[in-house]
Amino acid sequence: MTNAELISQDPGWIIALKGVIIFAACVFLTIMSVWGERRIVARMQQRSGPNRVGKFGLLQALVDGVKLALKEDLIPKAADRIVFVLAPIISTTTCFMAFAVIPLTGEVNFFGYKTAMQLTDLSVGVLYVLAIASVGVYGIVLAGWSSGSTYPLLGGLRSSAQVISYEVAMGLSLVAVFIYSGSMSTSEIVAAQDRWWYAVVLFPSFIIYAISMVGETNRAPFDLAEAEGELVGGFHTEYSSLKFALFFLSEYVNIIAVSALATTLFLGGYRALPGLGFTEQWLGGWFTLVWFFVKVLAFFFVFVWLRGTLPRLRYDQFMKFGWKVLIPFSLAWIMIVSTLRVMSQRQSSTFLLVAFIFSVTFIYIGITSLMDRAKVKTDIASKITNNTEPDFPVPEIPNSRAEQLNG
């Protein structure tokens, strides 16, 4: 039975219970991931990280949450009060909603009912996640705008531009998955990966998705929206107390959500690692939950690793990378994938297949060599223009330097 059929038989109370469980799991995971991130980043910098509250500092995030809740809740005078309150609510609710379509387990025994840990199975599940993520941007934009202050506005604009541009690349990277699985339903995509994960089959798509999901969640090295050195706190500068806590929560739930989506689409979701398929039957199917979270946490580790390693990009570099590298590349990749797909469906001859792959390689080599030549030309051109006298007065160039440049 597929997940969709299993879920369709759920009585109302199971649906409600599942919703509560997923919500609680998200909050718990957020708290633990804040702690985990701080510990891991600390280790990467040869520090030990929070280790005071509870064993290994495990309660640190919880205590921070309590502290945040007890703080004074300020609304600036210049702020638009309604939107100001609404913004964190939008951004939190939307990131939780993405989890509704993520299949956490296969078939399990849930209080005597055969069901799957998935709240609902839409036939356009992945589109729904993308749509929800886009609505989530409103939270950030409105927060920036309604604060009535300069830096939050700039941060909000930055992050909206960022999320919009990276969502294009993200959506394009998913197209290849849709083409191969023939479905947009999350559970069917997982089922379609029973032999090969799409992270292997569609490796370029996987890489593009992995990069754009970091951009999408405003995380380092793409955390331009809250670049402390430039924008103070970014869009949440004016927020305090519980409203700030909501933004904090939504950021981390978002990370978990995109990681969960990546797991579902590329790493075979709740299915066991290759060769360990027998474990899927353990604990009456509940062991698949472990596999799912192992994969999600692996993604989370990569998020933290990125943060610990890479410096923040400049805004123009970031935009250039999104629009001039990721999007054209994924467009080209989609063309290749769809051609290959059509070929294999029509059972074309091996000769045709090889010919296609060769022609693609030739075109790639041709384009890159042309680009290299153009680059050399512009380099030479820029050198020549550098040595000509400008038509405005400039201070004298020191002799030794001029001699060096002219050979």
Partner 1 sequence: MADELMPRSDEFGLAKSDAAKAPITNHERSSLGKQLLGFWVTFKTMFKKVNTVQYPEVKEPTAERFHGRHQLNRHPDGLEKCIGCELCAWACPADAIYVEGADNKEGEQFSPGERYGKVYQINYLRCIFCGLCIEACPTRALTMTNEYELADDTRAKLIFEKDDLLGPLRAGMVPPPHPMYPNTDDGNYYRGEVTGSHPSQGIAKND
**Least CB distance to partner 1 at residue 39 (A):** 10
Which residue number, 391 or 396, has a Cβ lying nearer to partner 1? Answer: 396
Q: Which residues contact 226 (CB under 8 A, 6 or more apart)?
A: 155, 218, 233, 234, 235, 236
Q: In this complex, which beta carbon is closest to partner 1, that of residue 354 or of residue 380?
A: 380
Residues numbered 305 to 364 that lie near partner 1 (CB under 8 A) are: 305, 308-310
Minimum distance from CB of 404 to partner 1 (Å)?
Answer: 5
Q: Does position 368 bind partner 1 by CB under 8 A?
A: no
Q: Does 401 bind partner 1 (CB under 8 A)?
A: yes
Choice from 5, 8, 24, 45 touching partner 1 (CB under 8 A): 45
- Least distance CB 30 / partner 1 (angstroms): 22
Using the rule CB under 8 A, which residue among 1, 8, 47, 273 binds partner 1?
47
* Closest approach of partner 1 to the CB of residue 309, in Å: 5
CB atoms near residue 11 (< 10 Å): 10
What are the start-end ranges of the H helices in 268-349?
287-309, 315-320, 327-345
Rg (CA), the chain: 25
Region from 135-143, 150-158, 302-310, 322-330 binding partner 1, contact rule CB under 8 A: 302-310
Among 15, 27, 32, 44, binds partner 1 (CB under 8 A): 44
Q: What is the DSSP string of 44-105?
A: HTT-----SSSGGGTTHHHHHHHHHHHS-----TTS-HHHHHHHHHHHHHHHHHGGGG----
Distances (CA, A) of 308 to 40, 49, 73, 312: 8, 13, 32, 11
Q: How many residues appear in the chain?
A: 407
Q: Is 227 in the site for partner 1 (CB under 8 A)?
A: no
Query: Which of residues 275 and 407 has its CB atom nearest to partner 1 in the complex?
Result: 407
Does 400 contact partner 1 by CB under 8 A? yes
Let me know: does 36 contact 56? Beta carbons within 8 Å.
no
Is residue 241 exposed (0-12), middle (13-18) or buried (19+ Cβ within 10 Å)? middle
Binding test (CB under 8 A) with partner 1, winner from 4, 26, 40, 326 = 40
CB nearer to partner 1: pick between 275 and 395? 395
User: What is the closest distance, in whole angstroms, from the C-beta atom of residue 258 to partner 1 in the complex?
Assistant: 20
Q: Chain centroid to CA 153: how far? A: 23
Helix, strand, coil shares of the chain as percentages rounded to 5? 75, 0, 25
> How many residues interact with partner 1 (rule CB under 8 A)?
16
Q: Are 136 and 254 in contact (CB under 8 A)?
A: yes
3-state class of 9 per DSSP? coil
Q: Which stretch binds partner 1 (CB under 8 A): 2-10, 37-45, 287-295, 344-352?
A: 37-45
* Residue 84 token pair: 């100001």
Q: Cβ 388 to partner 1, closest distance in Å?
A: 16
* Among residues 8, 48, 368, 387, the one that binds partner 1 under rule CB under 8 A: 48
Q: Is residue 398 near partner 1 by the rule CB under 8 A?
A: yes
Q: Does 171 bind partner 1 (CB under 8 A)?
A: no
Instruction: Tell me whether residue 244 or residue 303 sits nearer to partner 1 (CB atom).
Output: 303
Q: Which is nearer to partner 1, 347 or 400 (CB)?
A: 400
Cis omega (within 30 of 0) for bond into 204: no
Site of interaction with partner 1 (CB under 8 A): 40, 43-48, 305, 308-310, 398, 400-401, 404-405
